[in-house]
């Protein structure tokens, strides 16, 4: 059973405001809720009781394990020592792994467990990875197998995290699996888990040392802060942001990512898929081949505030079905494509007070999708500055497809370049109920265009 650190809403509200030494507070572990409507008294003096995760005392001290290269409870510079620290505190109900200054070169992902806080020493604590290696599979492996045979095994070691890719023999689609090499005999490696997909040589299967630096799946109550992640992108193959990034989370809830630098990943910077109540604040995500921030499919209530996103393919990408989110006071600069992209059933989000400057294609894009029922409805875009968007015929805010019930309010849209053919706000012919209120425009050929 995963330990729970109290009510999830209290967890986010408290950790978002807490300092390094005060992340565990009475609100996090105590019950401050009012008396129930039934009249039942609330808990005022909680005790640690077996199996009770709803009402936990606020302990003055909880477990902290330090990891360093020359001093600390655990000594080392690999993913193995970091994982050992995470697993130790998780086994004892959660706590903090404090990573001391230094550069830690990882051959595998660090997998966070529920109730663990991973904290570094700011930009002095760097997690990175060596150059990736890749090879084809030499023999067929069926979906129930737990081993693979490589054509060339040079550069692969027991303990490595790897990405396995193949073409599905039945529908031609691409299959990607993440596994760990746990044993070997020559070019033959055992995996930590069975394949659960057919990796036949007819599908041109490959194995590569690609992985997220820090990851977690099916956990809750995580904190990642004051760390620098360097993906060594120039020496690594591209890894799809639906599977990797400097930080990648899958099916996780109640997460705080704060004061993190994520850079140079040949893929996404920070990506989370089907994760709820994720807060990313005061982070710097830059120079990625993919997305700066990727609130992924099905993620509910993400909060992204005061982040700086630079020189990525897309700055902030709302994936499929991202709802009830807040993107606030982010600075998004020099993005190759769209500064902010909203689309497939991304509804009821608030995007406000962001600076989006020098986007290569569009400042803010509402994607056309496959029809009105798939579009991003009921979003509010307000008090943003959108400056110098796209090429000579660029658009600052482009609302495409059958997007409905979107409010664009008090945005400042401007161009300091030649007006050329540039448009401030463009509304597609199938859009409906798009409300424009008190937006200001400067330096454009046309302020508002209806296609």
Could you state, in order of their start, the residue ranges of all structural domains in the chain? 134-208, 211-450
- Please choose, from the candidates 369, 364, 325, 363, the residue with its C-alpha nearest in 3D space to the C-alpha of residue 343: 369
Q: How many CA atoms lie within 13 A of 340 on its CB side?
A: 34
Which residues, in sequence order, are CB contacts of 254 under 8 Å at separation 6+? 5, 8, 11, 12, 220, 221, 222, 276, 277
Task: Say if CB 250 and CB 274 are below 8 A apart.
Answer: yes
Q: Which two tokens stand for residue 190?
A: 């055992």
> Cα-flanking dihedrals φ and ψ of residue 29, to 5°?
-115, -10
Give the tokens for residue 357: 């400057």
- DSSP helix/strand/coil, 172: coil
Largest CA distance in the chain: 69
- Residues 139, 173, 233, 277: what is their CA dihedral angle, to the nearest 10 degrees? -120
pLDDT at position 251 is 98
Closest CA to 399 of 441, 355, 431, 362: 431
Collapsing DSSP states into helix, strand and coil, what is residue 87? Answer: helix
- Indicate the fold that domain 211-450 takes in CATH: Pectate Lyase C-like (2.160.20)
- Alpha-carbon distance of 207 to 426, in angstroms, equals 45
Region of residue 73 (phi > 0: left; psi between -120 and 50: alpha; otherwise: beta):
alpha
pLDDT confidence of residue 35: 56
CA distances from 333 to 134, 233, 363 (A): 33, 20, 10
The Cα-based distances of 204 to 58, 113, 153, 164, 167 in angstroms read 54, 34, 17, 11, 7
Statement: the pTM of the whole predicted model exceeds 0.75: yes
Beta carbons of 212 and 246 less than 8 angstroms apart:
yes
- Of the candidates 401, 419, 412, the residue with the CA atom closest to the CA atom of residue 440: 412
Question: H or E element: which one contains 68?
Answer: strand 64-68
Q: What is the pLDDT of residue 17?
A: 40
Predicted pLDDT of residue 4: 41
Structural Rg of the chain based on CA atoms: 24
Q: What's residue 55's pLDDT?
A: 83
The token pair at 189 is: 């490696």
CATH architecture, domain 134-208: Beta Barrel (2.40)
Q: How far is CA 19 from CA 276, 283, 312, in A?
A: 23, 15, 30
Intervals of the chain under pLDDT 70: 1-36
Give the C-alpha separation, 141 to 166, whole Å.
11
Give the three-state DSSP class for 372.
Answer: helix
Q: What share of the chain is helix, strand, coil (3-state, %, to 5)?
A: 10, 40, 50
For 317, left (φ over 0), alpha (ψ -120 to 50), or beta?
beta
Q: For residues 100 and 67, what is the distance between their CA atoms, to the nearest angstrom?
A: 6
Q: For residue 279, what are the contacts with CB-CB under 8 A and spacing of at least 6?
A: 12, 15, 16, 255, 256, 257, 258, 302, 303, 304, 305
Q: What single-letter DSSP state applies at residue 371?
A: S
Question: What are the DSSP E strand ranges found in 150-296?
Answer: 161-167, 174-185, 188-191, 206-208, 214-217, 220-225, 228-230, 247-250, 253-258, 261-263, 270-273, 276-281, 284-286, 291-295
């Amino acid at each position: 059973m995963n330990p729970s650190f109290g009510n999830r809403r209290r967890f986010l509200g408290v950790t978002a405001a807490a300092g390094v030494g005060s992340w565990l507070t009475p609100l996090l572990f105590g019950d401050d809720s009012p008396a129930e409507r039934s009249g039942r008294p609330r808990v005022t003096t909680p005790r640690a009781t077996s199996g009770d995760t709803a009402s936990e005392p606020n302990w003055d001290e909880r477990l902290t394990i330090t990891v360093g290269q020359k001093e600390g409870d655990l000594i080392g510079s690999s993913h193995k020592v970091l994982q050992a620290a995470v697993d130790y505190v998780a086994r004892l109900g959660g706590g903090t792994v404090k990573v001391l200054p230094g550069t830690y070169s990882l051959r595998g992902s660090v997998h966070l467990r529920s109730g663990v806080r991973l904290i570094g020493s700011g930009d002095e604590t760097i997690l990175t990875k060596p150059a990736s290696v890749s090879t084809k599979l030499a023999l067929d492996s069926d979906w129930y197998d737990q081993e693979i045979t490589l054509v060339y095994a040079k550069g692969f070691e027991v303990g490595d995290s790897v990405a396995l890719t193949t073409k599905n023999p039945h529908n031609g689609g691409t299959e990607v699996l993440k596994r760990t090499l746990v044993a070997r005999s020559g070019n033959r490696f055992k995996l930590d888990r069975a394949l659960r997909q057919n990796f036949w040589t007819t599908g041109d299967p490959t194995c590569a040392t690609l992985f997220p630096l820090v990851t977690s799946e099916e956990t809750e109550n995580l904190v990642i802060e004051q760390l620098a992640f360097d993906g060594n992108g120039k020496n690594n193959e591209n890894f799809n942001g639906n599977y990797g990034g400097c930080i990648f989370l899958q099916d996780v809830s109640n997460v705080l990512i704060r004061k993190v630098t994520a850079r140079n990943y040949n893929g996404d910077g920070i990506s989370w898929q089907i994760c709820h109540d994720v807060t990313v604040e005061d982070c710097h995500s830059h120079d990625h081949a993919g997305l700066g921030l990727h609130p992924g499919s099905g993620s509910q209530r993400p909060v992204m505030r005061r982040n700086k996103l630079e020189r990525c393919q897309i700055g902030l990408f709302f994936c499929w079905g991202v709802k009830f989110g807040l993107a606030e006071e982010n600075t998004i600069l020099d993005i190759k494509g769209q500064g902010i992209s909203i689309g497939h059933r991304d509804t009821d989000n608030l995007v406000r007070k962001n600076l989006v400057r020098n986007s290569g294609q569009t400042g803010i894009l509402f994607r056309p999708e496959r029809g009105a029922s798939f579009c991003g409805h009921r979003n509010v875009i307000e008090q943003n500055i959108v400056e110098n968007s796209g090429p000579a015929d660029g658009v600052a805010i482009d609302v495409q497809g059958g997007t409905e019930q979107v409010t664009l309010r008090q945005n400042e849209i401007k161009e300091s370049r030649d007006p050329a053919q540039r448009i401030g706000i463009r509304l597609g012919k199938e859009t409906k109920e798009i409300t424009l209120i008190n937006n200001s425009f400067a330096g454009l050929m046309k302020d508002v265009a209806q296609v």
